[in-house]
Each structure stands twice: as C-alpha cells, then as structure tokens.
A and B are shown apart, each in its own frame.
Chain A
Amino acid sequence: MQNNNNQIKGSLRAVTLGFLFLFLFIIIVLIASDIYYLVTSSLTCSDLLKIVLSENIRNAFVLSIVTSLCSLVLVMLFAVPVGYALSRYRFPGHTIVNTFVDIPLILPPVVLGVSLLAFFGTPVGIFIKSMLKSMDVSLISGVGIVMGQFLVSISYCIRAAKSSFDTVNQDVEAVGLTLGASPWQVFRRISLPLAGNGLIAGGVMAWARAIGVFGPLMVFVGTGPRVQVMPTQMWLELSIGNIEASLTIAIMMIVIAGTALALVHKLAPGRRWE
C-alpha cells in the first residue's frame, strides 16, 4: 500500500515537473533565439551598441519609461481605492461591477485603442479634446500614450489590490476602530501596510504591462516621431527590414519585463506578515 502511494506520488511529481520544465524550455528557447540571431548576424558588439544608443531607440526608451511611470501613478491612484471597495463592500450589482473591472484584461488591447478613438469622437470626447487643446495639449503625445497604457494595465493592478485587501484580516481592522482610530486611520496605518506587498507587486505588473502596450497606441496615437515608444519603434524597425534593431529592442524589453517580474515574485502575497 505504502509502495503504491509512493509510486503515485512519484509519477505525479514527474509529470507535473515535466510540464513545468517543458514550459520553461519553450520560454528560454524563444529568448535564446533572439540572442542567437543577433550573435550570429554580421553585427559586432559596437554595431549593437550603436543601435542601442541610436537617437530613435534612445528617445523611444525615454518616452516609454516616462509615460509608463506616469500611467503607473494613475493606475495606483485608481486601483488602490477600487480594489479596497471591491474587497470590503457589498452593494447591489457587486458581481457585475467586479466583472466589468476585468474587461480590459480579456479584451484584445487593440479594441481599447479603437474605443478611445470612438470616445474622442463623441460630444464629451470632443469637449475634452478642445479643453486639452486650449491648454496646448494634444492627444497625439505622451498624454495619449498614457491613456492607452492606463486602460490596458489598470485591471491587473485592481485585481492585485483586491486580492491583497482580501488577505487583510478584517477583525484586525475592527480592533483598530475600537482603539480610537477613524476608518481612514485604520486604512492608512493597518490595511495599507498589510496589503503593501501585494499592491507593489500589482503596480510592478501593471507597469510592465504598460511599457509593452502596442496595439492601442498604434490605433490611438499612431507612429509619428513624437509618440514612438519601444514597442512602436520595434515594429517600425521590423517593417523596414531592420530585424537586428528590432531584436535589440526586444531584448531590452525582455530585460525590463524580467526585472519587473523578479520584483513581483519577491513582493507578491505569500510573504505574509503572519
């Protein structure tokens, strides 16, 4: 009987770990292919460095970082209260609202770009556009990029925020109230620090998603010189047959995303206080 159990456990372990390592192998092969292509091309290290430091890629890198950080700030401003409300309060239509929050996760990103275009064709959108114009702000700029990045990435952070607040023991918060704290003080002193790791992980995930947004930006802001972020630049290089530059940007983005994911795994819920 014991032997039988060990055999079952052994085969289960072998099969599940087998799938894990197969998946890992696929990812590594894909990344390695990018590097292999560059290494075996006729380019030297200094050529690659030139590509990395070329004005177009440099500008795209800076614009990507700046806009994605701006959208991160906006995402956190929205996701923390929304995640808290979804976690703590039950109201009529809660399930529907909870589902709607996930819509940007399941929609093809390009649909969000089309929806943004459509919105700025409505009277409200036209009014906002004219307001921005009066302040000398165009949508075909960092502003438009941030809008696209925000819409694509916010659901990831809301989901992470809700899960993090779900893990905070509400009885602990209740005790805080009896000890003289207002609900805001309990939120700031207890709930927020306890959900902190998950919120940071959600923020990093949203930022990594934002920096990789392509489809909605192609539709909404286009590929003009003022709005070329890294994914757009990568596509532009590819479209003119400059595959080496395109792959160089791809590797830069892999490094950025990899670093972000490493941070997420370091900070994700699971490292509980108790």
Chain B
Amino acid sequence: MTLQINSLSLTAGSFHLKSITLEIQNGEYFVLMGPTGSGKSLFLKSICGLQSIETGSIIIAGKDVTNLPPRERNLGYVPQRSNLFPNMNVARNIQFPLDMRGIKGAEADKKVSEIAEMLKITHLLDRATYHLSGGERQKVALARALAAKPAILILDEPVSAVDEPTRREICKDLATIQKELKMTTIHVCHSEEEAKSVADKAGILYHGVLKKVGTVDEISKLYYNKSMSEKV
C-alpha cells in the first residue's frame, strides 16, 4: 500500500514539524534518519493518529486517513520500547490485534503460530512479557504489529535498545519478512549499517524539516556530516 504524506505540519509544545511531504511506494522500505530531537517519533505518531496535526493530509492506499482514529488506519506500530501489554503473555499480546478485528479461536491461534514461527519466537508464546530479554521483547512487538497484516508497518527505532548481534539478527529478519510480505515500511533509525541492511530508500529529518529523500548512501553521508545543517 502506498503511503502519501502531504504538507504535514504540527506543533507539540515549542517544537514544530514543518510541511512534510513524502511518498513511500507500495512494498517499499523507507528509513528515516535524523539527530535526536529532530521530530522523527512525533512524525511517526502523527501517521499513526496518536498526534494531531495542524495542516496536511495522510493518505494510505489512496484513502485519506487524516481524520480517522488510530484503530481505523490499519497500521502496525512498533515503538522504541516495545510497550508490550504486561498483563498478557506473549501469545495474547500477538493475538490482541486479531481479537480487535474479531478473529478468534482456531483461526487466531493459527495466525499467532504462523507469525511466531516466522520470527522464531514460538518457544516464547507461553511466557510472561516481563521474563523476556530486550531483543525478545522487540521481536514480540514486531510479531504483534504484523499479526493482523497491516497496510503500513511503522518502526520507531525498533532495535536501539538491543545489543549488536541481536540488532543484526532482527534487521535481517525485518528485511526478509518485509520482502516476503511486501509490506510498505517506515523505519526510524540512527545507524548507517542498520539503514543499509533494510532500506530501499531513506530520508533525513532535521529540526522538524524533511531535508532530503534519496538513497541510503546519500542520506548517510548527510547524517554523518557535522556541517549537515549548512549543506542541506
């Protein structure tokens, strides 16, 4: 599904996102980079409908979802800190979006098993979430986001809090799954290596302005250049 953002602007406290326009094609993996405090998470939240916008529009698969509540946008969102539901075990976490769509019983169990197998977390299904490691938590959050086959997958620094080998493993899984499901994905990260391992296209956000969209190499060069603000 194509994601189109047209002239999106918003204010949160003293911070502003200024007229962001972006188009991510169906099945494309887009990485958004930018220094801390540049508004990346706020931008993702506005796509999810968790942050109200002042002007602009958000169009998913040709449908204007700007004024729709989060539940009607058909998105899968993985926040920085997995934010699993601590009152549910892993299986019930993954089952949650299915429940919300009226998929229950054997059908839901089958879908949970499939997604758990895809992410190699079948052995975790009966565990309580507070017994999981950081990497396991992120994988469960990813499984939960993917369970109901959303139109767009939104990942907010999904591997920032895990160790290097786990980061590589999750990125590899992400790239494979994304290609397999042909799911339009937007992924916020700080690492060039992480971006290169998953992305088709990248963009850089700086002080609330989407400065440039291009290849990962182009964006990485800008990101790691200390005089970026002058250059862009």
Contacts and interface: CB of A to CB of B under 8 A. Distances in A.
Do the two shown chains form a genuine complex with each other?
A: yes
Interface of A: 169, 171-172, 174-182, 185, 189-190, 193-194, 273-274
B87 A193 contact: yes
A174 B83 CA distance: 9
A251 B51 CA distance: 56
A177 B87 contact: no
Interface in B74-118: 74-77, 79, 81, 83-87, 96-97, 100-101
Contacts of A273: 86-87, 130
Interface string B144-177: 1100100000100000000000000000000000
Nearest to A171: B83
A124 B23 CA distance: 62
Contact of A194 (B50, B75, B86): B86
B184 to A, nearest CB: 15
A174 B130 CA distance: 19
A185 B81 CA distance: 22
B49 interface: yes
29 contacts: A172-B84, A174-B45, A174-B48, A174-B50, A174-B70, A174-B79, A174-B83, A176-B96, A177-B69, A177-B71, A178-B49, A178-B50, A178-B70, A178-B71, A178-B76, A179-B71, A179-B97, A179-B100, A179-B145, A179-B148, A180-B71, A181-B96, A181-B100, A182-B69, A182-B71, A185-B100, A190-B87, A194-B87, A274-B86
Given A171-B79, A172-B83, A175-B83, A180 B130 contact: no
B19 to A, nearest CB: 24
Given A174-B83, A177-B71, 20 more contacts: A169-B83, A171-B79, A172-B83, A172-B84, A174-B48, A174-B70, A175-B83, A176-B85, A177-B70, A178-B49, A178-B71, A178-B73, A178-B76, A179-B77, A179-B96, A179-B144, A179-B145, A179-B148, A182-B71, A273-B86
A178 B85 contact: no
Nearest to A172: B83
Q: Which 3 A-B pairs have the closest CB atoms?
A: A273-B86, A180-B100, A179-B97
Secondary structure of the A contact surface, majority rule: helix
B96 A171 contact: no
Contacts of B129: 274
Contact of A171 (B74, B81, B144): B81
Contacts, number: 68
Contact of A172 (B50, B73, B85, B101): B85
A175 B100 contact: no
Nearest to B51: A174
Nearest to A175: B83
A178 B154 CA distance: 10
A178 B71 CA distance: 5
Contacts of A274: 86, 129-130
Contacts of B86: 172, 194, 273-274
A180 B129 CA distance: 21
A167 B86 CA distance: 13
A131 B51 CA distance: 48
Nearest to B154: A178
A177 B69 CA distance: 8
Residue in B77, B85, B144 whose Cβ sees the most chain A Cβ within 10 Å: B85
A176 B75 CA distance: 11
Nearest to B148: A180
Interface string B27-59: 000000000000000000100111000000000
Contacts of A175: 77, 79, 83
B140 to A, nearest CB: 12
A174 B154 CA distance: 14
Contacts of B84: 172
Contacts of A182: 69, 71
A240 B144 CA distance: 68
B130 A177 contact: no
B55 to A, nearest CB: 22
Contacts of B97: 179-180
A174 B51 CA distance: 10
A170 to B, nearest CB: 10
A174 B50 CA distance: 7
A264 to B, nearest CB: 20
Given A171-B81, A273-B87, A180 B69 contact: no
A193 B93 CA distance: 14
Contacts of A169: 83
Nearest to B92: A189
